[in-house]
Amino acid sequence: MTGGEINKNRIETLYETRFLKCFDLQYAEGKHYYEASRREGKDLVARLSDDEFRKMLPDAVTIAVVLHLPGNETRLLMSYEYRYPVGQFLLSPVAGLLDPEDKNSPDPLVSAAVREIKEETGLSVKEGDRVYVLNPCAFSTPGMTDESNAFLCAEITLDSLETLNQNGAEGSELFDGFELLDRERAWKIFASGRDEHGNFYSLAAWMVLGIFLMRF
């Protein structure tokens, strides 16, 4: 195997803001790799032991929210959310970072998912609804960042869409309506790589579309 492993004692903070930081990871004498992270330097994934790595919580959750509606109709709920780095409203699944309260709960991933569903859609997960983990931790772009996501599915039964809203947006979050996708529309978007406006979307959205098409 060529290359080298990160020297955990030779990690330097290059740039630091409240939400994003940049680090220099030295992997050999005079050899440097650069990464962006949401984490503090002491908590970087590159610093974790093998055991800590295998037990780590992800930074965020991404949820395939599937609605079971009257008339035996099943729909995938997605939204249009403004994504600042690309300057566009992108077709997006429900998603968000784990809060400290989530991390301290008995089931951190489900706790975060239930909270994000309420904040981004106005829907409350009820007794009889199902929220379950599909993938506990996946790295989004490990060539650039240690950011990670868990993927979950939430099956919610509704009698009507009256409570559906985007009033819970926080901070920089900006939404512009929902999409309720049946299999035909979901497949078209999944297969083409573009939403119904002809725009590209995130890898997380592509994954959620695939989950819906595979399981429902």
Q: What is the pLDDT of residues 71-104, one digit of tens each?
A: 999 999 999 999 999 999 999 999 999 999 999 9
pLDDT at 29 over 70: yes
Q: Look at 24 and 2; give whichever has higher pLDDT.
A: 24
Look at strands 73-83 and 175-181 and give their pairing.
antiparallel
The torsion defined by the Cα of 143, 89, 102 and 139, in degrees rounded to 10, comes to -20
How high does pLDDT run on average in the chain?
95
Specify the pLDDT at position 169: 86
Weakest mean pLDDT among 7-11, 37-41, 112-116: 7-11
Distance from C-alpha of 67 to C-alpha of 200, rounded to nearest angstrom: 24
% of the chain beyond a pLDDT of 70:
98
What per-residue confidence (pLDDT) applies to 3? 56
Domain regions of the chain by residue span:
11-53, 60-215
CATH number for the region 60-215 comes to 3.90.79.10
Q: What is the pTM of this model?
A: 0.94
Model pLDDT, residue 2 = 52
Spatial distance between the Cα atoms of 29 and 156, rounded to a whole number of angstroms: 54
